[in-house]
Amino acid sequence: MSFYQFAKNVVKIVLKPKYKVKEMGLENIPKTGPVIICSNHISNYDPPIVGMTCPRDIYFMAKEELFENKLFGFILRNVHAFPIKRGMTDRNALRQGLEVLKDGNVLGLFPEGTRSKTGEIKKGLAGAGFFALRSQATIVPCAIIGQYKSKEPLLVVYGSPVEMESLRKNKASAQEVTDVIMNEIKKIQEKHLDL
């Protein structure tokens, strides 16, 4: 068993019963080939929750500061996370992200960049659109719905892939593509809020 699988099992044992995590739309995640999962961001627990519910291994970008602690940095690297410098264009992280997709893997992104304290979906950064346009990946929007309150249900919904063909044809900018992705996440959230 890989370290990733071991960590995933631990997260499932700890977080799934605590937050009554339920996932929907797993059929929207292709079983093979490059995929970008774009999710809203409401808690520090979002990466393990998305990682736990997704049937495939996910490579996440994580802020550089998290790697400063040696033990935590070791764990992050062994669950496929790689560092990104916040507040600037980190060419190395962009290159690494494209490499993940080129190798046919799953890249996990939180386009808002930081957590939304209100739960309201904020404007996404252009990075998600950059990866979508620079790769042949399937873009899967994901909405985490709930409040991370003990014993209250937390829903993770994977939506239908974002239609990229017309965006490419119309020469959409990276920001425009991100806006479309965020809009899809918002639609999923609105659809399932009352469940």
Residue pair 51/60 in contact (Cβ under 8 Å)? The answer is yes
| pLDDT tens, N- to C-terminus, the chain (195 residues) | 899 999 999 999 999 999 999 999 999 999 999 999 999 999 999 999 999 999 999 999 888 888 998 898 899 999 999 888 876 577 888 999 999 999 999 999 999 988 888 888 999 999 999 999 999 999 999 999 998 988 789 999 999 999 999 999 999 999 999 999 999 999 999 998 765
Residue pair 41/67 in contact (Cβ under 8 Å)? The answer is no
Radius of gyration of the chain (CA): 16
> For 21-172, where are the E strands, in sequence order?
21-24, 35-39, 58-63, 82-84, 106-109, 138-145, 154-158
Domains and CATH numbers, the chain: 3-7+20-192 (3.40.1130.10)
**Distance between CA 74 and CA 17 in Å, rounded?**
27
